[in-house]
Amino acid sequence: SANKTWSGRFNEPVSELVKRYTASVFFDNRMAEVDIQGSLAHAGMLNQVGVLSDEDLRAIQGGMADILDDIRAGRFEWSLDLEDVHMNIERRLTDKIGDAGKRLHTGRSRNDQVATDIRLYLRGAIDVLLGLVRDLQRSLVDLAEKNASTVMPGFTHLQVAQPVTFGHHMLAYVEMLGRDAERLADARKRVNRMPLGSAALAGTTFPIDRTITAKLLGFEGICENSLDAVSDRDFAIEFTAAGALIMTHLSRLSEELILWMSPRYGFIDIADRFCTGSSIMPQKKNPDVPELVRGKTGRVNGHLVALLTLMKGQPLAYNKDNQEDKEGLFDTVDTLTDTLRIYADMMRGITVKPEAMERAAKQGFATATDLADYLVKRGLPFRDAHEAVALAVRYAEEKKKDLADLTLVELKSFSPLIEDDVQQVLTLQGSLDARNHVGGTAPFQVLVQVAKWRERIGG
Ligand code: ARG
């Protein structure tokens, strides 16, 4: 169509299907604000180096301000014929202000323009996500503090292993999220470099000053090779990988919440507003939110693989393949944003049931290792202690008793080293208190960690 910005050299218009197939405007218009920001910085730089007159710059600034108003008010009509967000805005500008609008694209290409837009958009998204990760951490730290001495069974292989505190368990996720935040912050450094000025692929013949534009846009530096700048999306891949790990961590927690809410465990209850019922079974209360978090992890993992696959076959420099980077990236941002937000609320609304946790901890001989350690401290080699305690467990199991319920006489039959001070060792509380070193599950250590996290993340 004669309407197209680049139609000068073509003999026939593209078909409707091709138009739809190649257009990106209906998803890349979410970058409209950063696109305008980039254009204003580019125009400002062109003016400073003497390529654009003061008059043209003022016209561009005025026109863009109106366009921004229209976009924010939902009045801007996006046109499929104009392909993408960049050409829609540029055309509107030219309709409004004439030749000055046509001069905006001097020394620039959509290739460096779009690469810049994605980075600006992603930088903003990362800053929001970092705040949300912190907030979720705060909700978990609060739970940890309240449950610093709430005993529960710690599991390996989903079998009762040793007693831990619920607070300690929550802090494990706080630590995972701490690394997630580090990863986001680290990816941000490489997101925050500016491709603009690379033009289509080789740079431009105009006397541009990229440092001016970079400064105006708050970039920490510029991408120094123009071919690389317009074509690589590794920063988006890194971000998505960090996002996939956030989802993976929350998927693990979700799996636990789902198990813990099942009556077989009964460790917690999730507030009604995060659950739904069944259309047929009147008694049901299902943990939909954690289930969906677990499910949505699949889509973010999928976006990561899609982006990697998108890149792997592309020769330098820009190829239209890259237009496919956006939907997965945006969906990753949306999924992370909603998931983190809902998760912090949900964790603030869970009810902990300490009696059920304690009962479960008493059922699996969780203090067997403590008894073995006790024997070792009295001189028995660890392997022999292991063997003696294994026999005691077998005996207790037959008698349907916990180790703590065996009499001293019964216990002594497995090792003469056992004295009456063993009782303290066999209780859940004794087991917890004994693991009193950095990273251990002792309630005292949990409170030390809570204080450390509060200092790091505030709240
Ligand atoms: N919509 C395009 C994208 O998302 C903008 C860049 C187009 N460049 C080009 N040479 N066709 O990648």
Q: What is the pLDDT of residues 207-236, one digit of tens each?
A: 999 999 999 999 999 999 999 999 999 999
Residues 6+ apart with CB under 8 A from 165: 147, 148, 149, 150, 151, 152, 432, 441, 443, 446
Instruction: Please check whether residues 61 and 169 belong to one and the same domain.
Output: no
Nearest CA-CA partner of 41 in 204, 208, 229, 232: 208
As annotated, the active-site residues are 157, 278
Residue 77: domain span: 9-106
Say if ligand 1 is within 6 A of residue 35 CB.
no
Say if ligand 1 is within 6 A of residue 233 CB.
no
Q: What is the DSSP string of 83-102?
A: -SHHHHHHHHHHHHHTHHHH
Residue at which a domain ends, from 55, 72, 106: 106
At residue 108 the predicted structure's pLDDT band, cuts being 50, 70 and 90, is very high
Residues 120-132: what's their mean pLDDT?
98
Q: What ipTM did this prediction achieve?
A: 0.97
Instruction: Please check whether residues 230 and 272 belong to one and the same domain.
Output: yes
Residues 330-339: what's their mean pLDDT?
98
Residue 162 tokens, joined: 């040793």
The model's pLDDT over 27-53, given as tens digits with 9 standing for 90+, comes to 999 999 999 999 999 999 999 999 999
Residue 194 tokens, joined: 């500016």
Q: Does 395 reside within a domain?
A: yes
This prediction has a pTM of 0.95
Residue at which a domain ends, from 359, 386, 412: 359
Cross-strand partners of 276: 286
Ligand 1 mean position to 218 CA, how many Å?
23
The model's pLDDT over 365-393, given as tens digits with 9 standing for 90+, comes to 999 999 999 999 999 999 999 999 999 99
Residue at which a domain ends, from 306, 326, 359: 359
Q: Does 340 reside within a domain?
A: yes
Nearest CA-CA partner of 171 in 193, 138, 198: 138
Whichever domain contains 426, its CATH number is: 1.10.40.30
Determine the length of the chain.
459
DSSP assignment, residue 15? P
Classify 36 as helix, strand or coil.
helix
Ligand 1 mean position to 305 CA, how many Å?
21
- Number of independent structural domains in the chain: 3
User: Looking at the predicted structure, is the pLDDT value of residue 205 above 80?
Assistant: yes
Say if ligand 1 is within 6 A of residue 24 CB.
yes
Ligand 1 mean position to 47 CA, how many Å?
25
- CA–CA distance, 389 with 254 (Å, rounded to integer): 35
User: Looking at the predicted structure, is the pLDDT value of residue 1 above 50?
Assistant: no
